[in-house]
């Protein structure tokens, strides 16, 4: 007998988090302990925070929240508690290999396969290999299937890519066995499969709600199917279009392979409903089984907005219908469009719109964009007006002051303290921060004036010789700069010695970089959130470096740090 599935959706014009929180309070809030004993599965930690805030707004007072679990949390079993990996259960799932440890091991394997590849490129390629492996594990595709890819008609670079991936197929499993660990994606799959089996056999004595999850990974789809079948289970999809006709729904895909030739029609993977359709298909459910989540909030947009958005997102083959749509299905009242010539104008226009909204009593505003460069430009514009934007995506460590300082240090050493790189380092806002900052800047500006003109010889000795030269019309400027240079030079001498040497172990390079940075900036460099993130990255990199390439050229350090810091998001 097929069990009834408890499937719901909140339309896009409703405030998802607030509608969800109010609906759960209405269902279970009569007994505070019943609500508190429930389990709420959400996609990410950011969603967890948003829904927590929505519960606070909806409660109007004290409230015991259900256990919120982000299924995208790297430490999923710790975040979920005993219901996901009970201490008295079966054999525990092996621990996952640390992402940075895996990357450095793969970088070492890349260099072993191609001795001509430098360390920075090996680290970059290791990241690409890791992401490809994760995608295959999430989709539960055996990586060994890559060996069956027909390469007869592929370009030579595709063949090289497949040859590189052979590292993952032949060497990486041996490394995992040696460490006694598994990939993080594989571990998450096993944990999700375990809890699905447990709940299928022994349904929990509390409500379980999975909300806002759109990833169509097979392990997650199987878990959501189990949740939907539970007596107290609910799956709440975000913005599933129930009004889309069957023809349009079928056009999204995915499609079966053709009987002749085995070709498969390409699915509309960029359509906003595609992954929801794929998730529902993998759950073994039908769109007709999904019911509306009938809760409205004061933060909702006009209902007509949902239909207009759906009409705008029609597949290309159906856009001929646009001219036949009634006005109610294409009305975008209150929506404005702008055409600008440059990204700078775009950011300025958005910043002005945000400021206008904030200056209107009772209004709030948000910028939703996948373009991180646009987000940074808008944040810089509104900062001029004393407004601080809470950027939920965070900023890459490489663009924040501690990150730019470390990169400036590495770049100055790599360029032999060329004037431009040297001055960028010495004028960095974190260098000599505090009471002595003004005197330091005066000396750095004097050095700037003295270094204009022909480039001095490489190294600190080249700067010394240039400043000590008594000849020329600017001899007095050089003499003034030389007095200050004698106080700044000792900070850089250990770094120069490091870059003069040949390849060295990565931990020694990082240790000297950290010590030089601390000498220039003091302990305050590591004090704020971005500084703590930089310190944590250097610490982990030093600890895990033993698994990576044995020796690293100092000139590669800048590129290695930039690659890794671009992937570290620091959130306010």
Q: 167-214: per-residue pLDDT in tens?
A: 888 899 999 999 999 999 999 999 999 999 999 999 999 999 999 999
Token output for 49: 């925070």
pTM: 0.88
* pLDDT average, residue stretch 490-503: 91
Q: Which residues of 210-225 are buried (b: 16+ CB within 10 A; e: fewer)?
A: bbbbebbbbbbbbbbb
Task: Reply yes or no on whether the pLDDT at 10 is more than 90.
Answer: yes
Q: What is the pLDDT of residue 390?
A: 82
Region 363-368: mean pLDDT is 88
Q: Which residue has the tokens 């949902």?
A: 306
Residue 135, pLDDT above cutoff 90: yes
CATH architecture observed for domain 7-91+186-305: 3-Layer(aba) Sandwich (3.40)
Asked if the model's pLDDT at residue 564 lies above 90, the reply is yes
| pLDDT value at residue 177 | 94
Q: Which residues contact 404 (CB under 8 A, 6 or more apart)?
A: 398, 428
Helices (H), 501-521: 506-521
Q: Which residues contact 492 (CB under 8 A, 6 or more apart)?
A: 412, 417, 460, 516
302 and 15 Cβ atoms separated by less than 8 Å: no
Rounded CA separation 425/349 (Å)? 34
77-86, 178-187, 242-251, 311-320: segment of lowest average pLDDT: 77-86
pLDDT attached to residue 434: 84
* pLDDT computed for residue 264 by the predictor: 76
Rounded distance, CA 67 to CA 36, Å? 7
d(CA 544, CA 326): 62
Q: Do 57 and 228 meet the contact criterion of CB atoms below 8 Å apart?
A: no
Average pLDDT, the chain: 89
d(C-alpha 175, C-alpha 177), whole Å: 5
Q: At what angle do helices 557-565 and 119-138 cross, to 10 degrees?
A: 30
For 527-545, the pLDDT digits (tens) are 899 999 999 999 999 999 9
pLDDT digits (tens, 9 = 90+) for 96-118: 999 999 999 999 999 999 888 99
């Amino acid at each position: 007998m097929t069990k009834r599935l408890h499937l719901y959706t909140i339309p896009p014009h409703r405030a998802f988090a607030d509608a969800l929180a109010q609906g759960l309070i209405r269902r279970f809030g009569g007994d505070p302990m019943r609500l508190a004993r429930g389990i709420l599965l959400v996609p990410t930690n950011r969603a967890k925070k948003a829904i927590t805030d929505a519960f606070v707004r909806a409660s109007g007072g004290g409230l015991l929240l259900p256990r919120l679990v982000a299924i995208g949390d790297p430490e999923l079993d710790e975040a979920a508690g005993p219901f996901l990996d009970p201490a008295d259960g079966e054999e525990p799932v092996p621990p996952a290999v640390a992402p940075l440890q895996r990357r450095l091991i793969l970088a070492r394997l890349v260099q072993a396969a191609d001795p001509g590849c430098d360390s920075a490129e090996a680290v970059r390629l290791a990241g690409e290999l890791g992401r490809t492996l994760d995608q295959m594990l999430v989709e539960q595709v055996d990586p060994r299937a890559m060996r069956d890819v027909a390469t007869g008609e592929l370009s030579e670079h595709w063949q090289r890519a497949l040859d590189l991936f052979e590292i993952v197929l032949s060497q990486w499993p041996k490394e995992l066995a040696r460490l006694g660990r598994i990939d993080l994606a594989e571990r998450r799959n096993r944990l999700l499969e375990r809890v699905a089996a447990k709940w299928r056999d022994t349904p929990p004595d509390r409500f379980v709600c999975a909300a806002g999850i759109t990833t169509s990974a097979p392990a997650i789809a199987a878990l959501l199917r189990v949740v939907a079948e539970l007596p107290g289970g609910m799956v709440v999809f975000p913005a599933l279009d129930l009004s889309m006709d069957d023809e349009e729904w079928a056009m999204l895909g995915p499609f079966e392979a053709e009987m002749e030739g085995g070709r498969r029609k390409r699915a509309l993977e960029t359509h906003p409903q595609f992954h929801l359709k794929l998730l529902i298909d993998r759950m073994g459910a039908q769109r007709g089984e999904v019911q509306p989540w009938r809760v409205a909030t004061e933060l909702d947009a006009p209902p007509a907005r949902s239909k207009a958005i759906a009409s705008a997102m029609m597949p290309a083959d159906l856009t001929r219908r646009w001219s036949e749509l009634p006005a109610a299905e294409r009305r975008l009242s209150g929506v404005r469009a702008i055409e600008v010539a440059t990204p700078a104008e775009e950011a300025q226009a958005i910043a002005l719109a945000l400021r206008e909204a904030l200056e209107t009593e009772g209004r709030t505003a948000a910028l939703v964009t996948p373009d991180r460069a646009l987000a940074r430009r808008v944040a810089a514009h509104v900062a001029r007006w004393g407004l601080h934007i809470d950027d939920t995506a965070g900023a890459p460590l490489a663009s924040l002051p501690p990150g730019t300082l470390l990169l400036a240090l590495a770049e100055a050493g790599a360029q032999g303290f060329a004037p431009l790189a040297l001055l960028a380092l010495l004028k960095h806002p974190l260098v000599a921060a505090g009471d002595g900052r003004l005197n330091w800047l005066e000396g750095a500006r004097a050095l700037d004036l003295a270094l204009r003109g022909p480039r001095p010889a490489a190294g600190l000795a080249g700067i010394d010789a240039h400043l000590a030269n008594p000849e020329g019309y600017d001899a007095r400027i050089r003499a003034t700069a030389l007095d200050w240079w004698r106080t700044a030079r000792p900070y850089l001498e250990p770094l120069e010695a490091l870059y003069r040497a040949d390849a060295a172990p990565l931990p020694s390079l990082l240790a000297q970089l950290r010590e030089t940075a601390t000498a220039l900036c003091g302990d305050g460099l590591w004090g704020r959130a971005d500084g703590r993130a930089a310190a944590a990255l250097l610490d982990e990199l030093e600890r895990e470096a033993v698994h990576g390439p044995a020796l690293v050229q100092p000139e590669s350090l800048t590129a290695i740090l930039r690659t890794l810091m671009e992937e570290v998001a620091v959130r306010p």
